[in-house]
Amino acid sequence: MEYFDRLDQELESMWSKIINEAPLFRAIDENRVDKKLYALYMIETYHYTLHNARNQALVGVRAYDVPPKYTKFCFEHAAEETGHELMALHDVKSLGLSENFTIPPPLPETETLIAYLYWISATGNPMQRLGYSYWAENVYHYIMPYVRKLQEQLGLQNNQLTFFIAHSDIDEAHAAEVREIIERHANTDEDREAVARVMRSSLYLTGEMLHGAFRAYGKLRDGEPGAYGFLQALD
Amino acid sequence: MEYFDRLDQELESMWSKIINEAPLFRAIDENRVDKKLYALYMIETYHYTLHNARNQALVGVRAYDVPPKYTKFCFEHAAEETGHELMALHDVKSLGLSENFTIPPPLPETETLIAYLYWISATGNPMQRLGYSYWAENVYHYIMPYVRKLQEQLGLQNNQLTFFIAHSDIDEAHAAEVREIIERHANTDEDREAVARVMRSSLYLTGEMLHGAFRAYGKLRDGEPGAYGFLQALD
Amino acid sequence: MEYFDRLDQELESMWSKIINEAPLFRAIDENRVDKKLYALYMIETYHYTLHNARNQALVGVRAYDVPPKYTKFCFEHAAEETGHELMALHDVKSLGLSENFTIPPPLPETETLIAYLYWISATGNPMQRLGYSYWAENVYHYIMPYVRKLQEQLGLQNNQLTFFIAHSDIDEAHAAEVREIIERHANTDEDREAVARVMRSSLYLTGEMLHGAFRAYGKLRDGEPGAYGFLQALD
Amino acid sequence: MEYFDRLDQELESMWSKIINEAPLFRAIDENRVDKKLYALYMIETYHYTLHNARNQALVGVRAYDVPPKYTKFCFEHAAEETGHELMALHDVKSLGLSENFTIPPPLPETETLIAYLYWISATGNPMQRLGYSYWAENVYHYIMPYVRKLQEQLGLQNNQLTFFIAHSDIDEAHAAEVREIIERHANTDEDREAVARVMRSSLYLTGEMLHGAFRAYGKLRDGEPGAYGFLQALD
């Protein structure tokens, strides 16, 4: 189907840019990651993941003029994603941090992503959040090679990567379901354009979050004071 | 457990009052119902049911300081309830109305119930909506005898009572689950008091809705003009 | 103008019913009020007033498809009502209670009124909250004779009735403004019907709150334990 | 006061970067603007301005644990900002467009800014939106020289710049008021840090919007199809 081909092509090109330009991916590629960077990134992952189930459910709460099957999908999908932030937190803790650190607030770039996802869930075309799901459920295709490289460099066990490993399994099924929902329910040009727009913007903002995480890591490495200081405990 | 005994005793007493005083129950008991009354009541049922999945999910959307298991319950429960309003609508239509009538807006009493359920879902103690589920999932114990009487009086088939029959099956499992969730997660006196308060108020407002529906029926029967006029087509 | 005449006639008839039937008004008429009753009622007043400015502003927040003049009215009106709950609280305290009592949560009837006002502000016809303002700003015409009687019975100074006295002054101007806004902006039959419906329902729920307050007072007088127990300190 | 000095210094440095790097400012400085660019930018201005009064009021709607004076400020400030988007729209139309064009949806960068402002208004520290007001009310100090240059280049009358000219007058008084509110009510380190964080992030996202507008202009100039195509009518 031509529409999905166009989405996939655009994703391919956006991911290629992110992978080639985001310093986080560059660092992995060039064997320059350490546990601090992985931990910092997983804390941002914790933050946006905490909100994902909620903004997904919000679509169902506010959309009356949609097929009940789509509303049901929103709630079921939200139920499945609930609590996944705890996997991210587990993986951070597994690096050897004392149990009781205070989770720093999200970085501005992470908060912007979170804000955007609530906004497009709470307003506008009720189908549009599927644009986020469309790439998010397919993300592992792009990132798992880098997750594996990072695992090797840091000498992590599979049970220290629960977030990524669990998701790469779960999300294959989700991806097919998301595509099917789009095919069935995003019936108008306006729907499809809204899905494409949110796909693009939410991936762009995720790329910005990667940049933000690396900048925060730079400050941490340089010894600047900040909410991430406690990660200095990780060698 | 003493707490649930107290809840059950209070429900018993409130239901007894509703059944003895609400003219809808009196009419059923005294063989005075007609299809207009059943249809009118099912339209109100359509309205609040349309919102039930949504206000249930809203609890999960806004509650951060609760165990993820409770959040998951909210979304799963919402998913299960999604679209049930269509059963109510089906049952109305099955009475012999032309397909394309405009559903009248909810009666003030129904809108008040809906408003209250959103309010207690969106604010206050995050456990408190369980007080609504607690009685709503157990409702069939009280009302099925009257549903059966009504079925007999109106000569309805089971497939004209899909809303009640489906729910009486589904909700037995739900009732046990709701009780378990309260037992596990409503841990403080404040939680339990909030659950009890919402149980009481939401059942009270449901009783008010029954009164309101009967008053609207009275006007309809008396030939007053109004949004329910189209039900005159039902003999 | 015929429309407002109809609204006024309906208000006249609803108020007449409330004044003749609500036990609070009966008690005032028959010299049976005490400070406990006045205090209890003013605590409920505190609660709904705390929310009035907020639900008024919410109309402006969510209504995009209205004339900016109406949006501006919502925000200005909200600004003017902000903090008025403190007058109610001041009047309660002036009766001789120690400063530091905990304000009891609203009664179920009060919470229902609050919930309803948020609901009709956040959803539905954006003009409809004017139906609440329409009677609320005109309330003093009906109730001031009873406020004065109560003042006499309880021997209260004007500065112990700041809520009622301030509002009877402020609201005369508001009433004219509300009427003007309805005339200008409630242009369709649907708008005018929504305004009338909310006028009716919100006044009905206010009547219910009066009943609820008197029931709570009865329990207090009978020595039942409850959140209002601290009012026993008032002779 | 040291806190405000730090804010001002940070603003100085952020603005200096925006003015030196944002291609919109570069274009103005180098006499390369045309009416298309001005119109496109004013359409984005229309979009975020439409939401400013609303997200400002939202702070007052949801913040209970703040001094009523701050709540009142939120509503008053919202009332004053209501309808200002119409000035932006007026200025676009004054360039010679036919009256009835459809306003294109906001660019992704503009929508991100809007989303962020709702998010920080609806959640988190209730003082934090003052961080946006703090720079937004002082913006004219930085941008008016560029507005005047642009006016000269495009040969615009003052009444084609109503948005900027009106705001540069209004906002001087606002700026003092915002500072006073921060001084009085942002009392804790947490409050002040939240204000600073939102100041920083919202100005950053505004800078991103400037970049986005210029990118959209580039596409328009290059003849790419898109929602802004109608601006080709402007020479």
Q: What is the ipTM of this complex?
A: 0.95
Q: At what angle do helices A189-221 and A108-122 cross, to 10 degrees?
A: 160
A–D contact (≥3 CB pairs within 8 Å)? yes
Would you place residue A174 in the very low, low, confident or very high pLDDT band (cuts 50, 70, 90)? confident
Cα→Cα distances D12→C195, C222, D16, Å? 50, 68, 6
Cβ–Cβ gap A115/D115 under 8 Å: yes
Question: What is the share, in percent, of chain B residues with pLDDT greater than 70?
Answer: 99
In this complex, the residue of B58, B75, B79 whose CB is nearest that of residue A53 is B75
Condensed to tens digits (0 to 9), the pLDDT of residues C2-61 reads 999 999 999 999 999 999 999 999 999 999 999 999 999 999 999 999 999 999 999 999
Q: What is the DSSP string of C10-60?
A: HHHHHHHHHHHH-HHHHHHHTT---HHHHHHHHHHHHHHHHHHHHHHHHHH
Q: What is the dihedral of CA B155, B161, B164, B167, to 10 degrees?
A: 140
Would you place residue B98 in the very low, low, confident or very high pLDDT band (cuts 50, 70, 90)? confident
Condensed to tens digits (0 to 9), the pLDDT of residues D150-197 reads 999 999 999 999 999 888 877 778 889 999 999 999 999 999 999 999
Average pLDDT, chain A: 94
From the list D119, D106, D132, the residue with the least C-alpha distance to D201 is D132
Q: How far apart are CA A125 and CA A194, in angstroms?
A: 7
Which of C75, C85, C89, C129 is most worth mutating to test chain D (most D CB atoms within 10 A of its CB)? Answer: C75
From the list D17, D4, D24, D20, the residue with the least C-alpha distance to D210 is D24
Q: What is the dihedral of CA C152, C153, C158, C162, to 10 degrees?
A: -130
> Would you state the pLDDT for residue C99?
67
Search chain B and give the residue with CA nearest C212: B201
Element spanning D190, H or E: helix D189-221
Q: How far apart are CA C163 and CA B188, in angstroms?
A: 36
Element spanning C141, H or E: helix C139-154
**pTM, 2 dp:** 0.96
Search chain A and give the residue with CA nearest B61: A54
Condensed to tens digits (0 to 9), the pLDDT of residues B21-53 reads 999 999 999 999 999 999 999 999 999 999 999
Would you place residue B137 in the very low, low, confident or very high pLDDT band (cuts 50, 70, 90)? confident
Sign of CA dihedral C135, C136, C141, C146: positive
| B114 touching chain C per CB within 8 A | yes
Would you place residue A100 in the very low, low, confident or very high pLDDT band (cuts 50, 70, 90)? confident
From the list C119, C205, D123, the residue with the least C-alpha distance to B64 is D123
> Would you state the pLDDT for residue A169?
78
Question: What is the share, in percent, of chain C residues with pLDDT greater than 90?
Answer: 87
Which of D62, D113, D119, D204 is most worth mutating to test chain A (most A CB atoms within 10 A of its CB)? Answer: D119
> Would you state the pLDDT for residue C1?
66
Q: How far apart are CA D31 and CA D146, in angstroms?
A: 11
Q: Is the pLDDT of residue D1 over 80?
A: no
In this complex, the residue of A61, A64, A69 whose CB is nearest that of residue B57 is A61
Joined together, the tokens standing for residue B107 give: 């009666």
In this complex, the residue of C112, C120, C201 whose CB is nearest that of residue B205 is C112
Q: Is the pLDDT of residue D122 over 80?
A: yes
Would you place residue D146 in the very low, low, confident or very high pLDDT band (cuts 50, 70, 90)? very high
| B172 touching chain C per CB within 8 A | no
> Would you state the pLDDT for residue A204?
97
Cβ–Cβ gap D119/A118 under 8 Å: yes
Average pLDDT, chain B: 94
From the list C205, C203, C192, C170, the residue with the least C-alpha distance to C5 is C192
Q: Is the pLDDT of residue C98 over 80?
A: no
Site of tokens 């306006």: A190
SS3 at position C104: coil
Q: Is the pLDDT of residue D138 over 90?
A: no
Cβ–Cβ gap A119/D111 under 8 Å: yes
Contact residues, chain B, for C111 at CB < 8 Å: 116, 119-120, 201
| A61 touching chain B per CB within 8 A | yes
Cβ–Cβ gap D120/A115 under 8 Å: yes
Would you place residue B94 in the very low, low, confident or very high pLDDT band (cuts 50, 70, 90)? very high
Cβ–Cβ gap A57/B75 under 8 Å: yes
Condensed to tens digits (0 to 9), the pLDDT of residues B165-219 reads 888 877 778 889 999 999 999 999 999 999 999 999 999 999 999 999 999 999 9
| D201 touching chain A per CB within 8 A | yes
Condensed to tens digits (0 to 9), the pLDDT of residues C133-184 reads 999 988 988 999 999 999 999 999 999 999 998 888 777 788 899 999 999 9
| A201 touching chain D per CB within 8 A | yes
Q: Percentages helix, strand, coil for chain A, rounded to the nearest 5?
A: 75, 0, 25
* Arithmetic mean of pLDDT, D42-59: 98
Joined together, the tokens standing for residue A37 give: 């960077």
Cβ contact C163:C88 at 8 Å: yes
Query: Looking at chain B, which subunits does it touch, using at least 3 CB pairs closer than 8 Å as the criterion?
Result: A, C
Cβ contact B65:B127 at 8 Å: no
Distance from CA of B118 to the nearest CA of A (A): 11
> Would you state the pLDDT for residue B162?
95
> Would you state the pLDDT for residue A202?
98
In this complex, the residue of B118, B197, B201 whose CB is nearest that of residue C119 is B118
Contact residues, chain A, for B71 at CB < 8 Å: 53, 82-83
Q: Is the pLDDT of residue A1 over 70?
A: no
